[in-house]
Amino acid sequence: MAIKDWNDTLANLRINGARLQETIEVSAGIGATDNKGLIRCAATDEDKVMRDYFAKWVKEAGCELTIDEMGNMFAVRPGKNRDLGAIMTGSHLDTQRPGGRFDGILGVLAGLEVMRTLNENNIQLERDFILVNWTNEEGGWFAPACMGSGVWMGNITKEWAYDRKDRDGETVFGKELERIGYKGDFPCDYKKWNVEMAYELHIEQGPMLEGEKLQIGAPKGILCLHWYDIHLEGTANQVGPTPMIGRNDALLAFSEMNIVVNKVAHQMGNMVGTVGEIQNYPNSRNIIPSGVHFTVDIRSWDDEHAIKAWNMMKEEFEIIAKRRGCPIRTEEFWKVEHASFDKELWDRVVESSDELGYSNLRMVSGAGHDMSEVSKVTRGAMIFVPSIGGRSHVEVEDTPWEDCERGGNVLLRCLLKSGQDY
Ligand code: GLV
Ligand code: MN
Ligand code: MN
């Protein structure tokens, strides 16, 4: 394309916001809850239906679709020079249980919208353009999170991922992925792809952009994610005749530990610590709890700081466990180190937003994303749009359509610039 035409393209080309909305609304009908949310966990029947739509849409957009051993779906739109490293975008189509209509979904479907826009304007980038739907980013049913991207970049193994049990402990991930027909043959390995750079558009999932009345967020990276499992043993007994003194109540020990997690996170600062999941056994109102399993999630920009916090928590847990007569077992379940994005791509997000006249903010992502993994093996950056009330991982998660469109336009512009830049 001549320079003049190219400059015209950059100045004038925009995604079709109405079409993006329509596509997101189709997705919002698959696994819909009564409260406007979604339950569409990875490797479930709802996930299969959504994946079938995605496969149909990318084929209609002229892409070649590859499904790897983890069910990651890569739609490739060939560039003019296939020897150049590809430019990748995408996110995830699975949700929390329950979750909202935008987390992950916006990034995949805005990538599709960019592809449709390029198609109808007959624009072929120099580089291959890969649109990806990563498998099980949420980890809400089969933990951990970022499973597909984590195997792809080598943080976890495929075998370990296949063996993960669902939250009820009834089935394993690999079997379910196969059952829904999305366990592909292609090796799940970034080295099988020649990716030069990647962008992920996502809702912010926090209150900053809305609070500052800004339109686009440009994170410099993502906090680390450290996940732990804790198992406590108590002694079950009839609640009525058993005196208060001398009980080994696992739930009571847990209650003290939950306070410790919150206290240490406050004391240390520059981090967050959360207990989000707990199973209490046998979970009966008239039996003293004989077992508790709970999780701890610790996040910080500084991995060492997060590890120090965990060690402090663990030390206090052990003291409580001893005092309450409840044996404790702790397990480091999963770790993703903090991610620092590529400075040039980060700047490109800001520059593209400025050029489009969108107000913006440089920030940090507290939420984990597939880009936490992807940016460790290729150059990566993200684009955020506001979350209403700063809320996500809830059914009422929402983002105004105009903001979705703005995010799509920034993504388009970043891809146009990066797709020609070699
Ligand atoms: C992913 O959704 C996370 O931040 O936990
Ligand atoms: Mn997400
Ligand atoms: Mn999420």
Q: Report in angstroms the alpha-carbon separations of 370 from 70, 92, 375, 380.
A: 14, 8, 8, 10
Give residue 11's pLDDT: 87
Residue 390 DSSP symbol: G
**Nearest alpha carbon, ligand 1 atom 3:** 368
Q: Could you identify the residue written with the tokens 């056994």?
A: 281
Q: At what angle do helices 17-27 and 401-420 cross, to 10 degrees?
A: 110
Q: pLDDT tens digits, the chain, 422 residues: what are they?
A: 677 788 888 889 999 999 999 999 999 999 999 999 999 999 999 999 999 999 999 999 999 999 999 999 999 999 999 999 999 999 999 999 999 999 999 999 999 999 999 999 999 999 999 999 999 999 999 999 999 999 999 999 999 999 999 999 999 999 999 999 999 999 999 999 999 999 999 999 999 999 999 999 999 999 999 999 999 999 999 999 999 999 999 999 999 999 999 999 999 999 999 999 999 999 999 999 999 999 999 999 999 999 999 999 999 999 999 999 999 999 999 999 999 999 999 999 999 999 999 999 999 999 999 999 999 999 999 999 999 999 999 999 999 999 999 999 999 999 999 877 65
Q: Which ligand is nearest to the CA of 143?
A: 1
CA–centroid distance, residue 370 to ligand 2 (Å): 8
Other beta carbons within 10 angstroms of residue 365's beta carbon come to 25
Atom of ligand 1 minimally distant from the CA of 299: 4
Give residue 1's pLDDT: 66
**Nearest alpha carbon, ligand 1 atom 1:** 368
Within 13 A of 253's CA, how many CA atoms are on the CB side? 32
Nearest to 43 by CA among 185, 188, 143, 160: 143
Q: Which of 134, 136, 138 to mutate to test the pocket of ligand 1 (most atoms within 8 A of CB)?
A: 138
Atom of ligand 1 minimally distant from the CA of 145: 1
- Strands 216-222 and 360-365, how do they pair? parallel
CA–centroid distance, residue 224 to ligand 1 (Å): 11
Instruction: Tally the residues of the chain.
Output: 422
**Nearest alpha carbon, ligand 1 atom 5:** 368
Which residues form ligand 1's pocket by a CB distance below 6 Å? 138, 145, 367-368
The residues facing 422 across adjacent strands are none
Give residue 9's pLDDT: 87
Give residue 418's pLDDT: 87
Output the DSSP codes for 141-192. SBSSSSHHHHHHHTSS-HHHHHTPBBTTSSSBHHHHHHHTT---SB---GGG
Q: Report in angstroms the alpha-carbon separations of 408 from 41, 150, 172, 336.
A: 25, 25, 36, 28
Q: Which of 205, 393, 394 to mutate to test the pocket of ligand 1 (most atoms within 8 A of CB)?
A: 393
The alpha-helical segments, DSSP class H, found in 273-339 are 303-323
CA–centroid distance, residue 92 to ligand 3 (Å): 9
- With a CB cutoff of 8 Å and minimum separation 6, the contacts of 361 are 208, 209, 212, 214, 216, 217, 218
Atom of ligand 1 minimally distant from the CA of 368: 4
CA–centroid distance, residue 367 to ligand 1 (Å): 5
Q: Which ligand is nearest to the CA of 105?
A: 2
CA–centroid distance, residue 289 to ligand 2 (Å): 35
Give residue 421's pLDDT: 65
Atom of ligand 1 minimally distant from the CA of 103: 2
- With a CB cutoff of 8 Å and minimum separation 6, the contacts of 228 are 295, 296, 298, 310, 330, 331, 332, 333
CA–centroid distance, residue 373 to ligand 2 (Å): 13
